Chains A and B, each alone.
Chain A
Amino acid sequence: MNAPFNISSYASIRGRKVTLNGQHLYEGSHTEFSEFIKAAYKALGVKYPKFFKMDNLSKLAFLTAEVLLKNENLNLEADNNIAIVLSNRASSLDTDRAHQASIQDKDNYYPSPAVFVYTLPNICIGEISIKYKLYSENSFFIFDRINTDHLFTSASNLLETGKADQVLCGWVDFDSDSYEAFLYLVSEKEGKPHTNQQILKLYNT
């Protein structure tokens, strides 16, 4: 069966590079993620002070979505029914470890709500939804590696049932020593055909 939907655009942040539709937007030389993502945020001209309160996973997901959605020139006064389906391997473990460190020692006990709230992977979906006023379908999944079958199935269902007009899909993973974000938009708009192979091809380029 031919999929009637297309991948209209895609973006990635990995290996200190930010790309949109295969074009380089920014490349950093920082070894620390926190420095790199801050520099990328500035270089891309983003102005959103809440960004600095986010955990690493949310920063990564938010900035990748920002690159993709800014380019869409959405009218934020209108309803944009863009669903969000994200996935990763490490869930929110980076922040989970920070929360665990704050409670491990009973003599030095400092759990914080500002950290604890980020101990859920879907918080980054909330951050993107708030920025772009997306009152739409959303779900977060965990897999060992990118599962294009799953992303394809989820996006197809949301579009075919009319629950969403577009779906922001992809992989956003942050672990202690690695990070990788790859997001793409699927809809009836023009683009590359929405197939398993195509998703994998774009992810691998």
Chain B
Amino acid sequence: MNKVYVSHNNIVSALGFDSTSVVEKVKSEVTGLGLVENKALHAEPFFSSLVNTEQLQSAFRELKPKEKYTRLEQMMMVSLDKIIKSSKIALDERVGLMISTTKGNIDVLDANSPFPKERAYLSELGKVVKEFFGFKNDAIVVSNACVSGILSVALAKRYIEQNVYDHVFVVSGDVVSEFILSGFNSFQAMSNELCKPYDKYRKGINIGEVAASILVTKDDSGLPDEAMVILGEGSCNDANHISGPSRTGEGLYRSMQTAFREAKIQPEEIDYISAHGTATLFNDEMEAIAFNRMGLQEAPLNSLKGYFGHTLGASGLLETIIGMHSAHNNTLYKSLGFETMGVTQPINVINYTRQHNIQTFLKTASGFGGCNTAVIFQKLAQ
């Protein structure tokens, strides 16, 4: 079967509007998280990582929009525009568009939103993005909780394998909204401090926002230096609980098994794991169990939530892109917020940023509904 690559990529975030400058910030251990006081979003101050509104509007104006677009649409379009241009791919019938999000334009449900309520339908979001850029095919919208971003990379690969498309542009995004904050707060899942994934003193999540986009393609010409091959992927369910992870990490374990089977490599060959690490008690523990079951306890691992917070449906794609740059730079980035081991099974959390040869990395994510995804990426043969 032909190889499928992850290629041109972009991140629109609190740490910058292109992947390279965002990765530079991560390398310098700069976090996008800070205390936000905004009563329209949440009654109490909260830690979050927000896209700078002025910078977003200014970047969006350069696209010469003729209509009004929501904050999420602006983020997604600024991000997607960059990779459509850098890839120089004509948007013909063989080019797909995939959008991954958990809540899309859910903020338009608020009585004070200037946008019509119909804008909350995710197919509307798909149409808006499709028409803005002139894609020939309708958008495929993936909404599978917090694995959406990484799952969409796996699904784009499947579309190419089935010979439906040659290239798929994937854009992921979610915004910080009162809807989301009030919900996670009702779960008592939010930390009132900077999040500390895998740390003994972790208190829960910080919610953040980004838009990220990537080109998934079968064409090996015109790939950027950080491009990688998708070796294998799986996305399995815990079949255990709708809002809590499995105590045995069953779904994540099976997702990894599927991914390794398809990749035809052994767990020892993984040089780095970009894990989910939300900093909730149950998630981090579940991951440690699953990685141990898979024999991955010695692979260097980080969670990037300490830099961006949990960016929901975009997190998996955001973290994949950082992982690609991590591999290209042969650098393991510190798992920000981690000091004292806080899970019962041994895992190798990256406690300082350092050089390390990375040929192959594993990206994982887990979410509500018991969903999990694992994808293995490998550098191109020299």
Binding site for B on A (CB under 8 A): 84, 89-91, 93, 96-97, 99-100, 102-104, 106, 109, 111-113, 116-117, 119-123, 125-127, 129-130, 132-144, 147, 149-150, 153-154, 156-157, 161, 163
Please, which residues of chain B bring their CB within 8 A of the CB of A116? Answer: 182-184, 186-187
Given A119-B183, A127-B242, A134-B239, 12 other A-B contacts at CB below 8 A?
Answer: A103-B182, A104-B111, A109-B182, A116-B184, A120-B368, A122-B368, A122-B369, A135-B237, A138-B235, A138-B236, A150-B140, A154-B158
Against A, the Cβ 8 Å flags (1 = close, 0 = not) of B133-162 are: 000001011111100000100010011011
Quick check: A96 and B106 within 8 Å, CB to CB? Answer: yes
Minimum distance in angstroms from B174 CB to a CB of chain A: 12
Residues of B232-289 at the interface with A, using a CB-CB cut-off of 8 Å, are 234-243, 250-251, 254, 258, 262
Residue of A nearest to B39 (CB): A106
A143 to B226, CA, bound (A): 33
The stretch from B9-17, B118-126, B299-307 touching chain A is B118-126
> Please, could you name 22 A-B residue pairs with CB atoms under 8 Å apart, sorted by A?
A89-B121, A96-B109, A102-B182, A103-B178, A103-B182, A104-B111, A116-B187, A119-B103, A119-B179, A120-B102, A122-B368, A127-B242, A133-B239, A135-B236, A137-B235, A139-B155, A143-B138, A143-B140, A144-B138, A157-B158, A157-B161, A157-B162
Max chain A C-beta neighbours (<10 A), residue from B239, B250, B262:
B239
Quick check: B123 and A123 within 8 Å, CB to CB? Answer: no
Quick check: B186 and A111 within 8 Å, CB to CB? Answer: yes
Residue of A nearest to B161 (CB): A157
Q: How many A-B residue pairs have CB under 8 A?
A: 160
* Cβ of B370 under 8 Å from chain A: yes
A103-B182, A161-B161 are contacts. A136–B236 as well, Cβ < 8 Å? yes
A91-B143, A96-B179 are contacts. A120–B121 as well, Cβ < 8 Å? no
A113-B186, A130-B241, A135-B239 are contacts. A100–B371 as well, Cβ < 8 Å? no
A89-B123, A112-B186, A156-B162 are contacts. A120–B369 as well, Cβ < 8 Å? yes
Minimum distance in angstroms from A87 CB to a CB of chain B: 9
Minimum distance in angstroms from A97 CB to a CB of chain B: 7
* Cβ of B110 under 8 Å from chain A: yes
Quick check: A103 and B237 within 8 Å, CB to CB? Answer: no
A140 to B371, CA, bound (A): 11
Quick check: B239 and A96 within 8 Å, CB to CB? Answer: no
Minimum distance in angstroms from A113 CB to a CB of chain B: 5
Quick check: B122 and A137 within 8 Å, CB to CB? Answer: no
A157 to B127, CA, bound (A): 26
Interface of A, helix, strand, loop or mixed by DSSP:
mixed
Quick check: B158 and A153 within 8 Å, CB to CB? Answer: yes
A143 to B138, CA, bound (A): 9
Minimum distance in angstroms from B120 CB to a CB of chain A: 6
A111-B183, A120-B369, A126-B370 are contacts. A140–B237 as well, Cβ < 8 Å? no
Quick check: B371 and A104 within 8 Å, CB to CB? Answer: no
Please, which residues of chain B bring their CB within 8 A of the CB of A127? Answer: 242
Residue of B nearest to A97 (CB): B109
Please, which residues of chain A bring their CB within 8 A of the CB of B254? Answer: 135
A103-B182, A120-B102 are contacts. A153–B159 as well, Cβ < 8 Å? yes
Quick check: A123 and B103 within 8 Å, CB to CB? Answer: no
Minimum distance in angstroms from A127 CB to a CB of chain B: 7
Minimum distance in angstroms from A110 CB to a CB of chain B: 9
Quick check: A139 and B144 within 8 Å, CB to CB? Answer: yes
A142 to B138, CA, bound (A): 11
Minimum distance in angstroms from A149 CB to a CB of chain B: 8
Please, which residues of chain A bring their CB within 8 A of the CB of B143? Answer: 91, 120-122, 140-142
Please, which residues of chain A bring their CB within 8 A of the CB of B52? Answer: none
Partner of B179, one of A100, A122, A133, A143: A100
A119 to B109, CA, bound (A): 13
A149 to B93, CA, bound (A): 14
Minimum distance in angstroms from B241 CB to a CB of chain A: 7
